[in-house]
Amino acid sequence: MRAFVCSTIVVVAFSVVFASAQTEPLSKTYRVTRADDVEFQKMESFKVFDNLYYVGPGYVSVWLLTTPQGSILFDTAQEPYVDWVIGNIRKVGVDPKTIKYIILSHGHLDHVGGAAKIQEVSGARVLAVAEDWKMIEDLASRPGQRGAAAPRMPKRDMVVKEGDSLNFGGQALKFHQTPGHTPGVLTTEGIAVYDGGKPYKAILWGGAGYRGGLAEAEQSVTSANKVAQIKGVQVNLQIHSWAGDDGYPGGGVLERGVMLKSRKPGDPHPFVDPDTFARWVKRSQDEAAKAVEEEKKKAGK
């Protein structure tokens, strides 16, 4: 009996290694391996819930949430994709002029680079936390890569902070500041998505982890703990298709998108996955705590 169990484990372990050597998750190909392949990145948009669409390129998410009063856009991608993103919004049947709010997860260019153009097309209000508005303003004043002109950025518009909320079109969004990845980071909870009329609670964690520094690592601990306190999350709207260790078997957003395409009536919705989200939050807490220890060692403390 013992030998049987052991050999089963060996076979399972072998097939996992074999599979991972053979195929790279689609989300990783988009986010990492072919991140600079512009034409490849222009993947087909897809409907995720009755009121939610993925309209971004393959490496960075742009989520379009529709309501009876207009739409809310989460993040905006960056050039050279912005006109194409606007085209995607039209393609899924939404007039960009109906976008009333653009919610920016954090002040990195891949998320905020399209905000100015999409704001002009839509007339939407743009939301970010103060610290990341500062980053956005800095981006606008610095020349781009290889001497290119500074990217066009939106003017500081709505400044949100911890505990603020936005009630609009039947949505009761609640905002948290979860710094670490950047000095701001806007996390949105309470996003109501519907599958055949059945409601689910979604979250958009505006950026996990940190990018070096003891203070930033300590912030990322506090932020991960804050996200862990948010109960009842059923759907995780990742800001990138692939997050490396989001806990989803072999990938992230795009793998779920593929499953959604071939979903049969009565099958569970592949994006409704509270357990994987809870595991990801737990792992983020553990990693943040570890990072603090490492940064302390580095600093000789």
Q: Which is nearer to Zn ion, 48 or 60 (CB)?
A: 60
Nearest residue to Zn ion, by Cβ distance, number only: 108
Q: Which is nearer to Zn ion, 36 or 39 (CB)?
A: 36
Q: What is the DSSP string of 183-236?
A: SS-EEEEEEEEEETTEEEEEEE----S-SS-HHHHHHHHHHHHHHHT-----EE
* Cis peptide upstream of residue 68 (ω within 30 degrees of 0): no
Partners of 127 in beta bridges: 103, 158
Cβ neighbours around 77 below 10 Å, total: 26
Give least dist CB 139 to Zn ion, A.
Answer: 12
Partners of 126 in beta bridges: 102
Give least dist CB 209 to Zn ion, A.
Answer: 9
Give least dist CB 113 to Zn ion, A.
Answer: 12
Mention every residue, 6+ apart, whose C-beta is less than 8 A from residue 171. Answer: 65, 67, 72, 190, 191, 192
Q: Which is nearer to Zn ion, 192 or 203 (CB)?
A: 203
Q: Note the residues at the interface with Zn ion (CB under 5 A).
A: 108
Partners of 250 in beta bridges: none
Q: Which is nearer to Zn ion, 217 or 272 (CB)?
A: 217
Give least dist CB 109 to Zn ion, A.
Answer: 9
Give least dist CB 240 to Zn ion, A.
Answer: 8
Nearest CA to 292 among 237, 213, 184? 213
Sign of CA dihedral 220, 102, 279, 212: negative
Q: Which is nearer to Zn ion, 100 or 108 (CB)?
A: 108
Give least dist CB 151 to Zn ion, A.
Answer: 15
Q: Which is nearer to Zn ion, 25 or 180 (CB)?
A: 180
